[in-house]
Structure 1
Amino acid sequence: MFGIMLLFATPAIAPAQDQCPHVVVSSGAQPGGRITYTGMVDGGDPDASATFNWTISAGTIVSGQGTPAIEVEAEPNEFVTATLDVGGYDRSCATSQSATEEAQPADTSDCPLLMLVTDSPARGKGIFGAQLFPEFSGAKWRWSISEGKIVRGQGTGRIDIEAAPGRTVTGTITVEGAPAQCKLAETQALRIK
């Protein structure tokens, strides 16, 4: 007797392509280390309830986790990759996408220009003067010198110093009170008569 054996296989069923969404991530950097990443989901199962989970390679997510867009804060010139995993669709759908952006340094175009001038008008005497262009109210002037002593002007844009004749004195001015992205400091050497 011959028996008949029938084998039935259950085919793996992949979701119809129109049930999977197309995910794109775009990015843009602003001065000061802020980067915005935006995820866009197109198509897919119209009954799916999309969820958004972001991971980043560096920096800190400061807003937007769980939404289609995040803001990241990173160190200037640091490359940050943000990966968006979109949930709520069939697990066999490819719903992860990434974008990489370089964090930009702070915009210093609005920072004042700091200029430093020096003079040694007499034996053992020296002058360091600084000027801001444009000037701003609330500037706090802080001077330091490598040797000798400041005899007048600390806290102003000009100091008079005394130092040993023939010595080279390095003077540094730091101005505080400007916008945070402005680093106002200059150093210059002066040979004392």
Structure 2
Amino acid sequence: MSSRDQVPYTVLMARWEPNAAERLAHAALDLFAERGYENTTVIDIAQRAGLGKSTFFRHFQDKREVLFGGSAMDGLLTEAIAAAPATATPLEAVAHALDAAGREVFTPARREFIARRQAVIAANPELQEREALKNLALIASMTDALKRRSVPDLTARVAAELGALASTIAFERWSQTTTGADFSEIARQALDDVQASTALC
């Protein structure tokens, strides 16, 4: 009998079960909450998900990327800005990007996962720094996307900064709401609030 034959069938099936990235992400959050981020290894995460270490590295570069997800958000926002109507103002193009984030990322089904992710980050200074750097990268990506729409440099930067601030405010409101309100709707209201506030400065 080969070593493969000795492995239980259920374990083999678990290793090849679909949605591996999602399973790994949920396993990681469970372990981060139980043991702390620093005390959790990639092998721990893979084992909790019923997968091998090689499967983990097919989806994530390291355990931090379970929380930060590579450049997926960059692409989502820049593509949405590019797809905004040609007549859209810079802030309207940014609102188009926030709508996309609401459809693809900040969905009701992912609300619990995102809240748990934020709790892990809030408890770890290293992860807070990584989150701040990611946010700066997103602002830079939105700025570049606006500039490709022939928006002047300074205007593009200001619109991207306001969009990022509105997104932060919207996330806080969305996380705390008990009405099941849509993130896109909350984000657009936050963007309106931010824009109105700048008129008072």
TM class by shorter chain equals under 0.3
- Structure with greater helix percent: 2
Q: When the two structures are superposed, what TM-score results if normalisation uses the length of structure 2?
A: 0.23
| Higher RCO, Cα 8 Å, sep 6+ | 2
- Structure with greater strand percent: 1
Q: When the two structures are superposed, what TM-score results if normalisation uses the length of structure 1?
A: 0.24
